[in-house]
Chain A
Amino acid sequence: MVAVILHLLFAFSQIGCAQTVSQKKSGQRAIAIVLKITGKDGKPEQMELYSKTVFEGKVKVLKSNTASQFSEPVHVKFFKESGELIYEEYMQNPLKRHIESFEPDGVIKNNEVANDSNGYINIRFGIEENVSSMKVEGYVIVNGKEALLSTINISIP
């Protein structure tokens, strides 16, 4: 009964006065992929697909995409079925998580790197209409050399 009431309350909230944003169909197709990285002591060992979303819209590039901007980058490559490279991106190793914080005075701060056993990377990029599947290869870069973490096959609806 409680669940039903909550459901009704939720449904009622959906018809409230707040506006819903118009997500204009631009004709451009894009994919958002969240990858879960697991490992030990901040060292990635494995990569798996956490979620994927295919959508119509433009993905803007906010940050430059080079390995040099990260101290311990993870390199992710996306290939078509034909083997053609579609997209690649360098990301900070998500198992070495930078957490920055400040005291309310705005002066005293902390910028710590936490070693985690799992972390996530989020990658979005435009894809062509005819791409129906992709192969994803994740690499960790150690001492300038890339070591393969995992290979994942992704179907695209």
Chain B
Amino acid sequence: MKIKSHLLLLALLFFGTVQIKAQVFKVDTLLYSGDPDNRINLVIMGDGYTISDTTLFRTNAMSVVNYFLSTPPFNKYSNFFNFIGIEVISNESGTDHPGNAPDETIPLNQPINVADTYLETSFDYGLHRVVSSNNLGLIYSVANTNFPQYDMINVIVNSPYYGGSGGGIAFTSMDVAAFEVFMHELGHSFAELSDEYEYGSSNCNPGNSQLINVSQETDTSLLVWKNWLTTAAIPTQPGTDCNLIGLYPGAYYCPVNWYRPKCNCKMKFLNQPYCEVCAEQIIYKINSLVNLNDDFSPQDTTLTICNSDVQLFTVTQVKSNPNTIQTQWFVDGIPVVNNDTAYTFDASLFTIGMHQVIAESYDSTYEVKKALTTYRKIWDVNVVSPLNDIAFTINGNNLISPYTQSQWYVVGDTIPVGSTDVLNCNQAGNYFVTGLDTNGCFATSDTISTACTTGINNIQGTNAEIQIVPNPFRDVVNIYATGLKPSSYHISVTNVLGQILERKEMKITQDPFHLELTTGELQSGIYFLIIKNEDSSYCKKIIRE
């Protein structure tokens, strides 16, 4: 019993609570490949590492990571995993070795040791080589507190001697041979694979039960790994067709009535590769847990596109190495582009109305024979035509565009007479406006003949007040203005046809402002006085006596 456990028990008795709050430790990214919600997160936590051993912990944890990533088929899917280290700090280095396991040899192959470690690991759990902890609850709680999005836990124990064990949590010492225990345990905890070895089970009666990699079924048409069978004799005797997938007697702890797919596999012996059937299951599991479409664009999946526009669709794949992830694009169920992460939708090629763009990503690896999960990203696309020939609204001399980002034109002119959504009209003419309609399409309005003769007394969008004195006038007209924004202005006099007869350019900086305008050459009649800068205009009907 460790000192820490005593203290914890005393604390519990004193405070009368039963709920444990695990300590917060430093969480390191050992290898990051993406959003933890879309990656398989392997947490590695150490036991028997003191505050002085944190560098050693990171080094040892990376050894596990590198071993994992060098093991097929995981080696091809490194981008599908995050590796997170939780730096659990112990009071003392090492781990317990009581030396009391029944299979201990004399002399002992490692010294007896007692270490005050946070996760309370020890050798000699029934057998000398078995390293485990009685306090799995604490280990789960540390993982839940520090990185709750974990998918698998490996506890590495700071001991150079060989040892480890499996179960809900894999324990490994830092003898590299122990890493194989971890890989075998991943077969169980990650891929739901069964043990393929024989181990004294008392329940080996005939039957037809099947699991992923062990089976009692001898009818090959019903066998779970039937797609892998080739020329091996059934049942398959080891030593004859040992490299072929077959039906090898002995599996699932039974020497008879249970079969395995291959002579040797990591689920039977360590230091062997996963057999094809087990590797397939691992790949299947990886593909089922990680969405191959890691990201996509546009983010809005309901779109309206003008029939003259193009829209780029993209997906970001989680790639294997070498990459076997492919993306097939469909429009309305018809394949359009294969093995590309982008598709350009040219709306002019499609009818007006609803369409569906789909990016379907899948793993094309040759290492599986069963269907893997495919991931679809779907966009609903409404192809629309521009809202052309809509009438703009006339309100006095204000012409109100039905569009945004408007450009106003007078028929016959190529230069716009205004760039605002409400135009203060200062000359008669046949007007039309272009801009973006409510769908965002570039559209052109109906053409409307507009008189623009009533005049208005304020400059649009400002608080300026302008008076023309006298009106009617003879040779001279006075302009009195207050509230004009300091700016350069065009001051002009036009006839009713919009022809400019007098024109001045001046910078107005004073407020109030006064200008005496001499108009001696004008004939008697109706004219318009226009005061205009880049963003506003004023139009007033004036009469020459």
A107–B144 touching, CB < 8 Å: no
Interface residues of B in 1-50 (CB under 8 A from A): 18-22, 26-29, 32, 35-37, 40
Contacts of A64 in B (CB 8 A): 192
Query: Within the complex, which residue of A24, A52, A59 is in contact with B19, where a contact is CB–CB below 8 Å?
Result: A52
A106–B126 touching, CB < 8 Å: no
Cβ of B312 to closest chain A Cβ, rounded Å = 26
A32–B144 touching, CB < 8 Å: yes
Contacts of B21 in A (CB 8 A): 51
Contacts of A28 in B (CB 8 A): 37
- Which chain B residue has the least Cβ–Cβ distance from A119? B136
Residue B360 at the chain A interface, CB threshold 8 Å: no
Cβ of A46 to closest chain B Cβ, rounded Å = 11
Contacts of A36 in B (CB 8 A): 137
B137–A34 touching, CB < 8 Å: yes
B272–A14 touching, CB < 8 Å: no
| Cα–Cα distance between A6 and B92 once the two chains are bound (Å) | 13
B192–A99 touching, CB < 8 Å: no
How many residues on A have C-beta within 8 angstroms of the other chain's C-beta atoms?
55
Mark contacts of A8-45 with chain B using CB atoms, 8 A cut-off: 1 yes-contact digit, 0 otherwise.
01100110101111111010101010101000000000
| Cα–Cα distance between A99 and B58 once the two chains are bound (Å) | 27
Query: Within the complex, which residue of B28, B36, B134, B178 is in contact with A20, where a contact is CB–CB below 8 Å?
Result: B28
Contacts of A111 in B (CB 8 A): 195, 199, 253
Residue A133 at the chain B interface, CB threshold 8 Å: no
- Which chain B residue has the least Cβ–Cβ distance from A54? B148
A57–B192 touching, CB < 8 Å: no
Residue B165 at the chain A interface, CB threshold 8 Å: yes
| Cα–Cα distance between A101 and B126 once the two chains are bound (Å) | 10
Cβ of B89 to closest chain A Cβ, rounded Å = 7
Contacts of A99 in B (CB 8 A): 125-126, 130, 132, 165-167
A51–B253 touching, CB < 8 Å: no
The prevalent SS among residues of B at the interface is: mixed
B144–A51 touching, CB < 8 Å: yes
**Contact size range, B:** 35 or more
Cβ of A152 to closest chain B Cβ, rounded Å = 10
B190–A20 touching, CB < 8 Å: no
Residue A112 at the chain B interface, CB threshold 8 Å: yes
Contacts of B199 in A (CB 8 A): 109-111
A21/B29 contact (C-beta < 8 A), A50-B19, A99-B130, A99-B167 known: yes
B149–A120 touching, CB < 8 Å: no
Contacts of B458 in A (CB 8 A): none
B137–A30 touching, CB < 8 Å: no
B127–A62 touching, CB < 8 Å: no
A14–B26 touching, CB < 8 Å: yes
Contacts of A114 in B (CB 8 A): 125-126
B148–A98 touching, CB < 8 Å: no
Query: Within the complex, which residue of B89, B126, B147 is in contact with A112, where a contact is CB–CB below 8 Å?
Result: B126
| Cα–Cα distance between A36 and B110 once the two chains are bound (Å) | 33
Mark contacts of B155-184 with chain A using CB atoms, 8 A cut-off: 1 yes-contact digit, 0 otherwise.
000000011111110000001011011001
B35–A53 touching, CB < 8 Å: no
Cβ of B7 to closest chain A Cβ, rounded Å = 14
Interface centre among A14, A55, A97, A100 (most CB of B within 10 A): A100
A21/B82 contact (C-beta < 8 A), A10-B51, A100-B185, A107-B269 known: yes
Residue B262 at the chain A interface, CB threshold 8 Å: no
Residue A145 at the chain B interface, CB threshold 8 Å: no
B51–A13 touching, CB < 8 Å: yes
A24–B168 touching, CB < 8 Å: no
Contacts of B197 in A (CB 8 A): 109
Residue A144 at the chain B interface, CB threshold 8 Å: no
Query: Within the complex, which residue of A49, A104, A120 is in contact with B177, where a contact is CB–CB below 8 Å?
Result: A104
Q: Which 10 pairs between the two chains have the least Cβ-Cβ distance?
A: A106-B270, A120-B137, A32-B144, A122-B140, A21-B29, A51-B141, A53-B144, A106-B271, A100-B166, A58-B37
Q: Which residues of A are at the interface with B, using a C-beta cutoff of 8 A? A: 6, 9-10, 13-14, 16, 18-24, 26, 28, 30, 32, 34, 36, 48-53, 55, 57-60, 62-64, 94, 97-107, 109-112, 114, 116, 119-120, 122, 124
A-B contact pairs, 13 of them (CB 8 A): A6-B51, A23-B147, A26-B37, A50-B137, A55-B144, A57-B36, A57-B37, A57-B149, A58-B36, A62-B151, A99-B132, A100-B195, A110-B199
